[in-house]
């Protein structure tokens, strides 16, 4: 029952409020309903009093007022807030004028103006809608004036007993005082509530202001003085109280640069609330410099322009950045030292290896006792193994530094696969391991890719397969998976029937310096870099090296890469003829080499191919001999005393820009091929060299030179 009693007036006051109505709108609707209910209550009280005293004309005025106020209430309920408010105000003023005129001033009806005026103040939004306040004030003042100008002191329209006037006046006065007191109390409570809300918001603002990580200053843009700051500002600048900062000139504490930005804001060069931000350095109270991120925001308050300056101390971040830069610089220097060390070690190791491998190849081509063959094979195998280890370490270094470059050459893919397998078939154990080549016939064509790096991957996979397969078979395959115009997707695979790889070791074998287990390392040897390098090379080619394996049954390493079909003609050099290393009779070469062993080895092969060789021990001798004689090709070492190879070539190119020059070098460094071309070399031959590769380059370059001479006369 009590809930029903309470809910009824609540329902009336909330009439017109919808689910989607904003909070501000809800407040205005509630205030208007309260005002209309209040005035309607006064009218109904007056109506009952007039009927009781048989003042029927007054009762008719009350009925008219009640009807108009009810219409205003229903307009507000239906969502017509503005129309309801205008009608309510107009009806209230009209009613007061009409009832005062009908009953006369003697009845004291005009006294109800005071509580109604307070009710109007309570209803109107004075701060946000000044036009509405002015409209209401004008109408109310006009109505009040009309009442005292036009209304008689005692109207004769209806009969009112003298003693009734006294009762009407007393009733209206009492009602006016009571309602005025009630509304005054409501207004005071509302003001108190607003004041508490303002204080809470100020407290929240002060809390945020004083607990900010930024040192915040408020500066008057006209006087250029600091008028306020937060607690963090005191901490950052080493002050103990705001009095030490407030009133100071901006320049004296924050510096000239900040003052210039404040002046810019004062000259209206800033758009409204347009911030400036950037890095600056400041000085603390103890003369210590610190770095900061600064944000300057201009704003207006009471027709004055101010700037809010936020300063975030980032000294620790700057120090960390500096440490990172130092660490980066150290790392880069270490990488450069490492690169130089590897290049030097490459040169120092390759130079004696060149002599060892070259000498072993010479001995194998000479007459020797049958029992010496096994020792020569051991010598050749060990030196070749050492060369592979050096190459793996250098390749791994390049991959770590992301400096391995991929080439694009044209080569026959089926022939490439055959050539990749031949060395393994030639050196396989007799009958225990069968080598199988499985290549699609459609791949017997010229394709474009990095032949050297692809050969490195296939060679690594075949080496591993041979190492871990004691009997059974090793199958190397290349399958065309998809063709789209000139683009080929090719799946390469090396499958063996060897020892296999445990499932928990599959991912480990692709890591650097890792093998399946330590027992495998001891038994089979190796650096553990081959698969890591192969995986990285395949990744650079756009593929992914994968493996499927089962212990005791073998493994399959495979990858798929995209290659393009080459429409260029095949090389005019017959590749088959290069294998037999035919004589180069009639070819004259100047060789500049300061190492007598390397000179001996290279000269022995050149003379075997019937090449006429002139020797120079340094760049100076090479220049003198070149100026006196005619040569088909120059073979020049890069590092020589008195004048190195690069300087010698630079001098030679001043008089002859066409003669082929091969750099004969044990050095290996980044972008080596492009660098040597820029320096005037035609090609390069790394040490230790393979005789067939040196023969091939000499044949290609001398044939090309002869072809050019024949073509242009």
pLDDT tens digits, residue range 392-413?
A: 666 666 666 566 667 788 888 8
Residue 619 CA to residue 490 CA, distance in Å, equals 48
Q: Is 33 part of any domain?
A: yes
Q: Which range among 100-114, 254-268, 613-627 has the greatest average pLDDT?
A: 613-627
Distance, CA of 368 to chain centre? 67
Q: Indicate if 124 and 248 belong to the same structural domain.
A: no
Q: Is 411 part of any domain?
A: yes
Residues 6 or more apart whose CB falls under 8 angstroms from that of 18 comprise 79
At 578, the pLDDT band (50, 70, 90 cuts) reads very low
pLDDT at 681 over 90: yes
User: The CATH number of the domain where 504 resides is what?
Assistant: 3.30.565.10
User: The CATH number of the domain where 663 resides is what?
Assistant: 3.40.50.2300
* 577 vs 310 pLDDT, higher one: 310
Residues 6 or more apart whose CB falls under 8 angstroms from that of 191 comprise none
Q: How far is CA 441 from CA 174, 199, 421, 483, 567, in A?
A: 117, 89, 17, 14, 17
Q: Last residue of some domain: 502, 533, 565?
A: 565
Half-sphere exposure at residue 606, Cβ-oriented, CA atoms within 13 angstroms:
24
- The confidence score (pLDDT) of residue 570 equals 46
Q: Which of 81-90, 307-316, 508-517 has the lowest mean pLDDT?
A: 508-517
pLDDT at 713 over 80: no
Q: In the predicted model, what is the mean pLDDT of residues 117-131?
A: 67
Which run of H or E residues covers position 524?
helix 518-524
- The confidence score (pLDDT) of residue 8 equals 52
Q: Indicate if 275 and 174 belong to the same structural domain.
A: no
* Average pLDDT of the chain to the nearest whole number: 78
pLDDT at 430 over 70: no
- The confidence score (pLDDT) of residue 16 equals 64
Q: Is 384 part of any domain?
A: no
pLDDT tens digits, residue range 431-440?
A: 688 889 999 8
- % residues pLDDT > 90 (the chain): 12
Exposed, middle or buried by CB within 10 Å (0-12, 13-18, 19+), for 393? Answer: middle
Residues 6 or more apart whose CB falls under 8 angstroms from that of 99 comprise 46, 58, 61, 62, 65, 109
Q: Which of 355-369, 630-644, 697-711 has the lowest mean pLDDT?
A: 697-711
Q: Which of 294-303, 629-638, 663-672 has the lowest mean pLDDT?
A: 663-672
Q: Indicate if 238 and 263 belong to the same structural domain.
A: yes
pLDDT at 521 over 60: no
Q: Which of 16-25, 59-68, 275-284, 301-310 has the lowest mean pLDDT?
A: 16-25
Residues 6 or more apart whose CB falls under 8 angstroms from that of 295 comprise 214, 275, 276, 277, 309, 310, 312
Q: In the predicted model, what is the mean pLDDT of residues 626-655?
A: 91
Q: Indicate if 120 and 145 belong to the same structural domain.
A: yes
- The confidence score (pLDDT) of residue 575 equals 40
Q: Is 555 part of any domain?
A: yes
Q: Indicate if 413 and 559 belong to the same structural domain.
A: yes
* 560 vs 167 pLDDT, higher one: 560
pLDDT at 558 over 90: yes
Q: Indicate if 22 and 148 belong to the same structural domain.
A: yes
Tell me which residue range forms the domain holding 677: 576-712
Q: Which of 59-63, 179-183, 462-466, 585-589 has the lowest mean pLDDT?
A: 179-183
Q: Indicate if 40 and 59 belong to the same structural domain.
A: yes
Q: In the predicted model, what is the mean pLDDT of residues 248-255?
A: 89
Residue 456 CA to residue 452 CA, distance in Å, equals 6
Q: In the predicted model, what is the mean pLDDT of residues 241-265?
A: 87
Q: Which of 104-118, 298-312, 518-532 has the lowest mean pLDDT?
A: 518-532
Q: Indicate if 465 and 422 belong to the same structural domain.
A: yes
Q: Indicate if 558 and 600 belong to the same structural domain.
A: no
- The confidence score (pLDDT) of residue 579 equals 44
Q: In the predicted model, what is the mean pLDDT of residues 533-538?
A: 86
- Domain total for the chain? 4
- The confidence score (pLDDT) of residue 391 equals 67
Q: Indicate if 196 and 59 belong to the same structural domain.
A: yes
Residues 6 or more apart whose CB falls under 8 angstroms from that of 189 comprise none
Q: Is 236 part of any domain?
A: yes
Sheet holding 289-301, edge to edge: 225-229, 215-220, 304-313, 289-301, 276-283
Q: Indicate if 621 and 706 belong to the same structural domain.
A: yes
* 251 vs 510 pLDDT, higher one: 251
Q: In the predicted model, what is the mean pLDDT of residues 609-623?
A: 91
Q: Is 365 part of any domain?
A: no
pLDDT at 672 over 80: no
Q: In the predicted model, what is the mean pLDDT of residues 200-206?
A: 71
- The confidence score (pLDDT) of residue 394 equals 64
Distance, CA of 392 to chain centre? 35
Q: Is 371 part of any domain?
A: no
Rounded to two decimals, what is the model's pTM?
0.41
Phi and psi (nearest 5°) for 684? -140, 155
How many residues does the structure list for the chain?
Answer: 713
Q: Indicate if 522 and 599 belong to the same structural domain.
A: no
At 580, the pLDDT band (50, 70, 90 cuts) reads low
Q: Last residue of some domain: 260, 279, 313?
A: 313
Q: 3-state class of 367 per DSSP?
A: coil
Q: Which of 299-308, 510-519, 614-623 has the lowest mean pLDDT?
A: 510-519
Q: Is 107 part of any domain?
A: yes
Residue 687 CA to residue 693 CA, distance in Å, equals 11
Q: Which range among 110-114, 124-128, 450-454 has the greatest average pLDDT?
A: 450-454
Q: Last residue of some domain: 297, 313, 329?
A: 313
pLDDT at 114 over 80: no
User: The CATH number of the domain where 260 resides is what?
Assistant: 3.30.450.20
At 537, the pLDDT band (50, 70, 90 cuts) reads confident
pLDDT at 110 over 70: yes
């Amino acid at each position: 029952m009590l809930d029903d009693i309470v809910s009824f007036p609540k329902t009336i006051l909330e009439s017109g409020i919808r689910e989607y109505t904003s909070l501000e709108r809800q407040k205005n609707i509630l205030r208007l309903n309260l005002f209309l209910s209040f005035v309607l209550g006064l009218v109904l009280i007056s109506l009952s009093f007039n009927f009781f005293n048989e003042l029927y004309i007054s009762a008719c005025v009350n009925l008219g007022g009640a009807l108009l106020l009810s219409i205003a209430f229903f307009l507000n309920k239906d969502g017509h807030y503005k129309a309801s408010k205008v009608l309510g105000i107009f009806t209230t003023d009209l009613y007061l004028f009409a009832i005062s005129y009908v009953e006369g001033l003697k009845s004291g009806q005009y006294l109800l103006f005071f509580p109604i005026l307070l009710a109007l103040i309570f209803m109107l939004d004075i701060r946000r809608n000044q036009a509405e306040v002015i409209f209401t004030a004008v109408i109310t003042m006009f109505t009040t004036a009309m009442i005292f100008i036009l209304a008689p002191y005692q109207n004769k329209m209806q009969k009112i007993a003298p003693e009734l006037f006294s009762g009407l006046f007393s009733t209206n006065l009492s009602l006016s005082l009571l309602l005025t007191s009630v509304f005054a109390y409501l207004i005071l409570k509302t003001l108190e509530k607003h004041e508490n809300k303002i204080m809470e918001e100020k407290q929240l603002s002060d809390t945020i202001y004083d607990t900010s990580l930024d040192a915040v200053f408020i500066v008057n843009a006209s006087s250029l003085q600091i008028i306020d700051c937060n607690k963090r500002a005191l901490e950052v600048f080493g002050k103990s109280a705001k009095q030490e900062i407030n009133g100071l000139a901006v320049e004296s504490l924050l510096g000239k640069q900040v003052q210039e930005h404040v002046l810019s804001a004062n000259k209206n060069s800033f758009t409204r609330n347009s911030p400036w931000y950037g890095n600056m350095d400041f000085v603390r109270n103890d003369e210590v410099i610190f770095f900061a991120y600064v944000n300057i925001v201009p704003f207006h308050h009471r027709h004055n322009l101010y700037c809010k300056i936020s300063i975030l101390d980032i000294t620790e971040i700057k120090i960390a950045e500096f440490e990172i830069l130092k660490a980066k610089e150290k790392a880069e220097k270490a990488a450069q030292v490492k690169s130089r060390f590897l290049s030097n070690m490459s040169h120092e190791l390759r130079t004696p290896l060149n002599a060892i491998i070259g000498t072993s190849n010479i001995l194998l081509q000479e007459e020797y006792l049958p029992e010496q063959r096994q020792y020569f094979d051991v010598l050749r195998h060990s030196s070749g193994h050492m060369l592979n280890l050096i190459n793996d370490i250098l390749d791994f270094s390049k991959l770590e530094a992301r400096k391995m470059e991929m080439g694009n050459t044209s080569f026959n893919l089926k022939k490439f696969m055959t050539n990749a397998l031949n060395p393994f078939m030639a050196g396989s154990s007799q009958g225990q391991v069968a080598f199988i080549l499985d290549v699609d016939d459609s791949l017997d064509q010229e394709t474009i890719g990095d032949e050297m790096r692809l050969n490195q991957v296939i060679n690594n996979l075949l080496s591993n397969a041979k190492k871990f397969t004691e009997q059974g078979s090793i199958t190397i395959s290349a399958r065309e998976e998809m063709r789209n115009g000139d683009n080929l997707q090719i799946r390469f695979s090396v499958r063996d029937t060897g020892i296999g790889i445990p499932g928990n070791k599959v991912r480990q074998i692709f890591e650097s310096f890792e093998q399946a287990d330590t027992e495998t390392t001891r038994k089979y040897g190796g650096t553990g870099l081959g698969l890591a390098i192969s995986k990285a090379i395949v990744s650079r080619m756009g593929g992914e090296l994968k493996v499927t394996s089962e212990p005791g049954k073998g493994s399959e390493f495979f990858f798929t890469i995209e290659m393009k079909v080459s429409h260029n003609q095949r090389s005019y050099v017959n590749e088959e003829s290069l294998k037999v290393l035919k004589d180069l009779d009639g070819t004259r070469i100047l060789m500049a080499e300061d190492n007598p062993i390397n000179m001996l080895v290279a000269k022995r092969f050149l003379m075997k191919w019937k090449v006429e060789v002139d020797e120079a021990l340094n760049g100076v001798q090479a220049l003198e001999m070149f100026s006196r004689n005619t040569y088909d090709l120059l073979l020049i070492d890069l590092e020589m005393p008195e004048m190195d190879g690069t300087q010698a070539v630079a001098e030679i190119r001043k008089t002859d820009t066409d003669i082929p020059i091969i750099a004969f070098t044990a050095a290996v460094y980044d972008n080596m091929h492009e660098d040597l071309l820029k320096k005037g070399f035609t090609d390069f031959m790394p040490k230790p060299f393979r005789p067939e590769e040196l023969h091939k380059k000499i044949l290609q370059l001398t044939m090309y030179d002869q072809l050019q001479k024949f073509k242009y006369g």
